Amino acid sequence: MVLGGDNLFDFDLSRFCEFYHAMEKDCITAHVLTDEKAIQGSGVIEVDKEARVLSFEEKPVNPRSNLAVPPFYIYKKETLPLIKEYLNEGHNPDAPGNFIPWLIKHKDVYVFQFEGKRYDIGSLESYKLVQDLF
């Protein structure tokens, strides 16, 4: 399980784990964002009717959907060596979301769509906002 430490959320992780075990595939999370500026600052996916990820774009100027992907993932044990392959090919190691577009070209990845609040605490402004909220 990969969880971005600069995020605060209120959805139940056990439901995400149950989804992962039911799918028996690599899984990521997504949630609906309606604010265009917010979606442009996030990873955005397109999915099919079975919840399989079809595309992933990081911080798109023209988002193809309103499904934002925070850094909450569960990978199968067999997927872990692919991270080294990804890095050995010279791909960007900077953020965990950079791996997802590469991975969906090699394996099926499914999305657990959660409801609830999620805050990315990536700036002093967003940190202050979360302090005020909580």
Indicate the pairing of strand 109-113 with strand 26-32: parallel
Residue-level pLDDT at 1: 94
Note whether 27 and 73 are within 8 A (CB). yes
Q: How far is 38 from 36, CA to CA, in rounded Å?
A: 5
**0.85 surpassed by pTM:** yes
- pLDDT tens readout for residues 11-22: 889 999 999 999
State which amino acid sits at residue 123.
S
Q: How far is 90 from 108, CA to CA, in rounded Å?
A: 22
- pLDDT tens readout for residues 7-54: 778 888 999 999 999 999 999 999 999 888 888 888 999 999 999 999
Q: How far is 108 from 126, CA to CA, in rounded Å?
A: 33
DSSP symbol at 120: E
Q: How far is 57 from 44, CA to CA, in rounded Å?
A: 5
Map tokens 């798109």 to a residue: 60
Task: Tell me the three state secondary structure of residue 96.
Answer: helix
Domain boundaries, the chain: 2-133
pLDDT at 123 over 90: no
Q: Helix and strand tally (H, E) in the chain?
A: 5, 9
Hey, what CATH class is 2-133 in?
A: alpha beta
Question: Rounded to the nearest 5 degrees, what angle is found at the Cα of 97, between the Cα atoms of 103 and 113?
Answer: 85
